[in-house]
Structure formats: C-alpha cells, structure tokens
A = this chain, B = another copy of it.
Amino acid sequence: MTVQQKIKTLSHFINGIETAGTSGRYSEVYNPTTGEVIAQVPLATRDEVKQAIQLAKSAFPAWKRTSIGKRVEVLHRFRQLLIERQDELIEVICEESGKTKEDAKGEIVRGIESVDMAISAPQMLKGEYSVNVGGNINAFSAKSPLGVVATIAPFNFPVMVPLAITSMAVAVGNAVILKPSERVPISALYLSKLWKEAGLPDGIWTVMNGDKDAVNELLENKEIQAISFVGSTPVAEYIYQTGTKHNKCVAAFGGGKNFMIVMPDANLEQTANAFLGAAFGAASQRCMAISGAIVVGEDIEKRFTEILKEKVLKLKVGPYTDDEVDFGPVITQQSKDTIVRYIDEAITEGANLVTDGRNPKIGETSKGFYLGPTLLNNVTPNMTIFKEEVFGPARIIVGVETLQEAIDLINDHELGNGVTMFTSSGSAARKFLEEIEVGMVGVNVPIPIPVGYHNFGGWKRSKFGEGHMFGPDQARFFTKAKTISERWPDETEDTTSSFAFPSNSDVNK
C-alpha cells in the first residue's frame, strides 16, 4: 500500500450532505504523531461558500419557527450521541491533533458542557414582560435568532471549540456555517454526522473547509449576521476589523499569555504540580495554557525553579497510543520550528535554559512533530518570549520582589486572557482579583477556565468584541430582541393627538 492510497479525500458538509470540493485546491492533513499525511481537505472557493450560505439561509426560517422545546430535543439527542460515540471520536481527535486520549476525552466532556449550556436555551431565550408601564401599555421583549452565522475554529480543540461556538447558536435557532481549521477537519465532519443523526434539519449545520478565501467570503457576505472566531490574536484582530467593516457583530477570541503568580506563602509542591499540567498539557497548545510563572521573592523563585526542574525532567512525551505519555507532538513541523526559534531567541536575549526540550529523544525515532518540555528562567519583560504567545511547550519563569510588581507586569502585557495565583492569603487574593486586568482569573486553580455555565472571554488584545464563548452571554450574542409596546384600547375611547415626547413617568407631583 502506498502513501497515495492511504490518503483520504475529505469533503464539505452542506445541507446535510457530504459534498466534494470543486476548487481542485486541497490542504494536507497530518497525523502529528507520525508526521504522515492522512487526508487532504478541499479548500472552498468563494462561490462554494456563497452557495452553502444560500442553502443555510433557506433552511433558517423553518428552524427559527420550530419551537424551542423541539430544537432543544435535537441537542439532547446530539449530547447522547457524543457520549455513545465517545471512543470513536477520541480516536479521530488524537489522530489528527496528536493529543493524548485522556486529553481528547477531557475536551469532549468540556464540549458537552457547551451542549448543556445550549440545552438551557429555553431559559436563555426569555425576554422581559412589564405590565402597564403607563397609559395601559404593556412592554415586553421577544428574542429571535439572527439568521445565518459563521464560526471559525482553531486546530487545538478539534471538537470542543466547534461545540463551544456552535451549540448555542443552533439551539437558539440560527443556521451555522463552521469553518474548521484545515489541520483538523475530520473531527468537524464527524460531528456533522452526529448532528444529522440527532435529527438536526439539513442546512442548519454546515462545515465549509477552506483557507483565507472561505474566511473572507464569510466575513464579507451580507447574509452572514454574526461571526465567532477562536485563534491567534493577529487573526482575531483581522476578523474583528474585517467583519465589523461589513457591519456584522463579531466575537473574536485571540491568544493568551497566562501567568501563574506564585506567592511566598503558597505550598510550592502543590503549586509545581499544578503548573506542570497547566503549562505543558496538550504540548501547551491551549489558549488557556499557563505560559509561565511569576514568582514573588528571590528565594522562592530559586526553590520553585528547582522543584519544577526535577518534575519537568520526569515528563514523558510521545504518541497518544501510549497511555503513559504526558503530552504529544505539536501540530505541524512549522509550528515546531517556530517554537524552537522562540527558545533560541530567548537564550540569545539572556534567558537561562532550565530544561531543554528542543531535541526530545522520541524525535530521533519518529517523524512526529515532537518537542520536549522547555523551561527558561531569568526571563525579563522585554524579551520576545515574554511578550508573545508561544503555542508549544516552552514556558518561562520570571522573578519579582512584590505582588504589586507581579500584577503590574501582567497588567502591562497586551494580552489579558487568563491568569492564576497560588497563595494561602485571603488579602493577597483579594488584591489580585481586584487589580488584575485579565478576563479569566484563578485562585489556587491551575487553569482558570470558567465552568461552561459562566462566561468565557479575555480582556485587552485577547478578545475583540462583546461576545462570549461559553456561558449565558453567548446566547445573547446569537440573538436579537424586539422590544414591544402593546396597548388594546377600548374602541370607543376618546383620543387626542400628543405632540410632546412620550414618557411614562411623572416627576412633577
């Protein structure tokens, strides 16, 4: 069997049907664990995207008119299918992303949290009703879906992010176009089958594979009412500016530089364990991964570095087929190269290499895109590795003298996605919670990702727009409201014209 034979040609999922691409352009999908190409994914033309949007638009009115209860019933069945097919889905995720099985399972469970949030759509869709706001008028608000909405997903969570940015959109009555990452399209297509099996009408969930052409059509097409994006900050900014230039509502989630502040009163052993998983899990390819530690106190920094070093050296990198492995490869060879460049540059700029993951042993016998865990200390805020998001297992340690210094460092950073602090002091935690300029904050929690029924969203250049990814505010992003003032006068009532501006108060006794 030749490589040629093994490569599967993927399709789009349009109007309930797996539809072959017509552009003749493809992108290769790798198994990062082996470095081999496993499939080719079609890259849609703008015309293909246009047609898919039209089909979604046609499907929308009937779905909108479907009662909330029946829409949610589809989500219940979809949820059940996600649980029943979990093992198959884990295999799909692992193969195209390289993450460990345990991690893939964690992502599915977390994705189901988004489905659960969407299942509460009947609560989320409630408007407000006021009796007699004046002049026998009742005032109330009625929520509607937007129409066709687009969501653009990254490679690092092949299942969780698509579920997070589409489940609520579907539940509240929209038709969704998902453009998954061209690195991990197979998971998205797998989800399509589950949606169909769950009874979602054709046209309500569409997968369009593609690159910048497809993205630009979604950003510019006037039938698209709203855009959700998850990815790096520069692309998020592009999406926000381009989508809003076409008058759309846009929620664009960018990168993070998520620090863990380690206070002198923290239990260093517990904290180091927390750091390890949160920093290196999934080969650090998470927007919520801990990027580095900011340790308060010179001595503490030394001791914490030592403890960490010892633990890092014991970490095991390898293929997801090995259950003992702590994390797998990064997504592509280019990604690996970029991360190594960050490490090299940091060393040049004066950082100290505590552990060196640039040439992991496993790499010698595998074409997989492996990197071992790299830890650098003596890192300063002017270094590139401090300033930029590094999407791979190179993590940093920064020493400071005071909590205030730690807070200032973080607040001066252009990103504000996540942050956490380890401490036993109530007042240190209070100062931190109050002053830190970051959207998702933890106290003694390794990864400060909110539970699915709370809002997910960073501050500063980590999020553009008002939307949220999980939580109750997400329902708001995918709906609009009519505010209605209703009056039913007696028809024999005598009336005159009022030329003054109407109001219902009476501030003059």
Q: What residues of chain A have their CB less than 8 Å away from a CB belonging to chain B?
A: 65, 67-70, 72-73, 76-77, 79-80, 82-83, 86, 100, 102-103, 105-107, 109-110, 112-113, 116, 119-120, 122-123, 125-135, 137-144, 157, 160, 199, 237, 240-241, 244-245, 247, 249-250, 267, 269-270, 273-274, 276-277, 280-282, 286, 311, 326-327, 423-427, 429-431, 433-434, 436, 438-457, 459, 461, 464-467, 471-472, 476-477, 480-491, 493, 495-509
Contacts and interface: CB of A to CB of B under 8 A. Distances in A.
A235 to B, nearest CB: 14
A129 B451 CA distance: 12
User: Most B CB atoms within 10 A — which of A132, A245, A439?
Assistant: A132
A130 B68 contact: yes
A466 B249 contact: yes
B83 A507 contact: yes
Copies in the complex: 4
User: Most B CB atoms within 10 A — which of A100, A120, A496?
Assistant: A120
B423 A495 contact: no
B433 A482 contact: yes
A104 to B, nearest CB: 8
A116 to B, nearest CB: 7
Contact of A128 (B129, B157, B430, B436): B129
Contacts of A247: 237, 240-241, 461, 464
A226 to B, nearest CB: 9
A429 to B, nearest CB: 6
A372 to B, nearest CB: 14
A73 B141 CA distance: 24
Nearest to A157: B501
B500 A130 contact: no
Contact of A485 (B68, B240, B249, B450): B450
Contacts of A472: 123, 128
Contacts of A452: 503, 505
B427 A491 contact: yes
B77 A445 contact: no
